[in-house]
């Protein structure tokens, strides 16, 4: 047998053959992707997102380990140091936050029957009055109790009992988690393993992706990856910062207003901060329920009822406006300048495709699609490709807005576009 390497003798493919092969590859990839389980996709996406969030920390440690000559050893040690730091911070947070949160959750569970009974009495006092419509007189409370009455032959239930049963029934699905512990542990091991390799070899993956495209498109690929980095860096890391800030702010506001379980309300607000547009509005719901059923512990004039709820709602809306005006431009920048309607549609689509993770990643996914659509449009129309504009466009507002914005901007100035782009490149 000859030791010489055999040569390729086939002729070059025609344009039609190339198109058919490319189409066949795309169809095969699509069919394979459809067969992959949703849990597997969730594990992959989670690993990629966590690796991207922690990449600046890995880079920070790697720069401090320059005396180590071997790159792989230096990178591996940087990943291990990052894991040690993250686990230490996570353990500290659990030690400080979890006991207080569990205590307030137990207090809330103990107070729940009383809160529901108070809610029932308040509703009965309001809806128990007869309402005359034409020749008919209706008592809304009687109709409401009739709605909750059991079917013929069953014992009727009042509103309070129905609400308690509905709340307690939410615990039933949690029992099924016990049977999935083994699967969860296996998935966690896979996620951690993938996360390790992504954190260690992330730059190599990017270089390999650029080298895989034709040479004439490598510059375009670098430009698109740079802009994608700005979009996802601004969103993912920015949302973490906003979540931490809003957790502290809502916790402090709840303490001032005398709401029960202020730490729980702060954590709920911080968690819902990851849901664009809808999250801050949803965070009001538990606070409003508390205001309607309990008196303020700090302000004697605020008894349980509509006035207390209005004060709480106005406070939450004021915090949201301050966040939108002062924090979002400085934390997220303008890379996610998306219309609320597009974000809401993306949330619905993301929820149907990937559940909670789809909701969280809806906004940057839309920004990513917009980036590629803009690139394709430029190529189709033979236009010059210009990077996305940096900085927020100036908006005409009222005198109070301009005055507050001026004072805050003097104290906390927005970085110029060039510096923000440089910071994103360093990350």
Whether residue 312 lies inside any domain: the answer is no
Q: Is there a contact between 41 and 354 (Cβ–Cβ < 8 Å)?
A: yes
Whether residue 280 lies inside any domain: the answer is no
Whether residue 56 lies inside any domain: the answer is yes
Rounded mean pLDDT of 3-8? Answer: 72
pTM for this predicted structure: 0.62
CA-closest candidate to residue 159, choices 188, 192, 200, 123? 123
B/e letters for 275-301, b = 16+ CB within 10 Å, e = fewer, are bbeebbeebbebbbebbbbbebeeeee
- Calpha distance 178→313 (Å, rounded): 39
Whether residue 94 lies inside any domain: the answer is yes
Read off the pLDDT of residues 383-416 as tens digits, 9 standing for 90 and up. Answer: 777 665 443 343 434 444 455 555 656 655 554 4
Read off the pLDDT of residues 100-112 as tens digits, 9 standing for 90 and up. Answer: 777 766 776 776 6
Q: Which residues constitute the domain of residue 44?
A: 37-118+185-204
Q: Is there a contact between 229 and 335 (Cβ–Cβ < 8 Å)?
A: no
* Mean pLDDT taken over the chain: 75
Instruction: Record the tokens describing residue 195, joined without a space.
Output: 């996360």
Number of domains in the chain: 1
CA-closest candidate to residue 63, choices 72, 79, 74, 76? 74
Rounded mean pLDDT of 290-300? Answer: 83
Whether residue 41 lies inside any domain: the answer is yes
Whether residue 59 lies inside any domain: the answer is yes
Whether residue 69 lies inside any domain: the answer is yes
Read off the pLDDT of residues 62-83 as tens digits, 9 standing for 90 and up. Answer: 888 888 888 888 888 988 998 8
Higher per-residue confidence, 317 vs 397: 317
Whether residue 295 lies inside any domain: the answer is no
Residues contacting residue 165 through CB under 8 Å, at least 6 positions apart: 157
């Amino acid at each position: 047998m000859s030791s010489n390497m055999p040569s390729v003798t086939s002729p070059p493919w025609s344009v039609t053959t190339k198109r058919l092969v490319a189409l066949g590859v795309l169809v095969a990839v699509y069919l394979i992707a459809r067969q992959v389980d949703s849990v597997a996709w969730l594990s992959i996406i989670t690993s990629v997102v966590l690796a991207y969030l922690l990449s600046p920390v890995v880079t920070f440690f790697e720069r401090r380990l320059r005396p180590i000559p071997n790159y792989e050893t230096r990178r591996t040690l940087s990943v291990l140091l990052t894991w040690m730091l993250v686990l230490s911070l996570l353990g500290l947070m659990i030690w400080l936050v979890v006991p207080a949160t569990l205590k307030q959750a137990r207090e809330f569970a103990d107070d729940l029957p009383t809160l529901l009974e108070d809610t029932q009495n308040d509703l009965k006092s309001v809806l128990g009055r007869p309402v005359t419509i034409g020749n008919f007189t209706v008592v809304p409370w009687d109709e409401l109790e009739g709605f909750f009455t059991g079917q013929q032959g069953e014992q009727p239930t009042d509103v309070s009992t129905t609400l308690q049963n509905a709340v307690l029934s939410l615990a039933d699905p949690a029992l099924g988690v016990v049977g999935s512990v083994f699967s969860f542990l296996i998935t966690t091991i896979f996620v951690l393993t993938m996360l390790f390799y992504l954190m260690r070899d992330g730059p190599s993956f990017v270089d390999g992706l650029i080298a895989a495209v034709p040479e004439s498109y490598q510059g375009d690929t670098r430009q698109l990856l740079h802009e994608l980095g700005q979009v996802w860096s601004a969103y993912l890391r920015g949302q973490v910062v906003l979540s931490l800030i809003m957790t502290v702010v809502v916790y402090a506001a709840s303490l001032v207003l005398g709401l029960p379980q202020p730490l729980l309300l702060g954590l709920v607000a911080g968690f819902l901060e990851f849901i664009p547009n809808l999250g801050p509005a949803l965070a009001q719901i538990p606070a409003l329920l508390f205001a309607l059923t309990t008196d303020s512990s700090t302000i004697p004039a605020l008894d349980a009822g509509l006035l207390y709820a209005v004060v709480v709602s106005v406070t939450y809306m004021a915090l949201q406006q301050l966040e939108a005006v002062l924090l979002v431009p400085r934390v997220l920048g303008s890379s996610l300048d998306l219309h609320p309607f597009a974000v809401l549609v993306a949330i619905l689509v993301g929820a149907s495709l990937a559940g909670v993770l789809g909701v969280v990643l809806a906004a940057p996914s839309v920004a990513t699609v917009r980036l590629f659509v803009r690139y394709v449009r430029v190529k189709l129309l033979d236009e010059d490709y210009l990077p996305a504009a940096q900085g927020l466009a100036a908006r005409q507002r009222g005198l109070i807005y301009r005055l507050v914005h001026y004072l805050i901007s003097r104290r906390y100035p927005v970085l110029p576009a060039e510096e923000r782009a440089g910071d994103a490149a360093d990350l």
